[in-house]
């Protein structure tokens, strides 16, 4: 059974600081997704990472994928309050040939304090 683990699960940080959220998964995969969820809202797609070594950046967020280590990171640079949300990574196993059901991590609840 595919396991996806995120850490930390809770992150409180000050504006202007940098931090990294980690996402480990237990099976071979070449597709990893990062989503953002605000309280009571749906999931907003942030990044789609499709190959080993993939790195994508959008504003203060940068995501990377290391398929050999089965690890993805979401790096936050100079955090601002607007980034406060819950961040999920989600993985599709390489063996999934008939579809792309996502297995999600538990989520990292990020709070950025002024």
CA distance 48 to 57: 11
Preceding amide of 8 cis, omega within 30: yes
**Closest to 84 measured CA to CA, from 37, 27, 43:** 37
Kindly state whether residue 33 participates in binding another protein, applying the rule CB under 8 A: yes
Closest CB to another protein among 1 and 114? 1
Kindly state whether residue 51 participates in binding another protein, applying the rule CB under 8 A: no
Closest CB to another protein among 98 and 114? 98
List 66, 77, 96, 111, residue binding another protein (CB under 8 A)? 96
């Amino acid at each position: 059974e595919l396991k996806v683990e995120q850490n930390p699960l809770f992150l409180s940080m000050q504006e202007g600081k940098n931090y990294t959220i980690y996402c480990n998964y237990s099976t071979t995969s070449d597709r990893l997704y990062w989503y953002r969820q605000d309280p009571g809202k749906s999931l907003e797609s942030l990044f789609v990472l499709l190959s080993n070594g993939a790195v994508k950046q959008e504003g203060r967020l940068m995501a990377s994928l290391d398929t050999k280590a089965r690890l993805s990171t979401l790096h936050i640079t100079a955090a601002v309050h607007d980034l406060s949300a819950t961040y999920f990574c989600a993985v599709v196993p390489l063996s999934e040939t008939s579809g792309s059901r996502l297995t999600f991590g538990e989520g990292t609840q990020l709070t950025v304090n002024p």
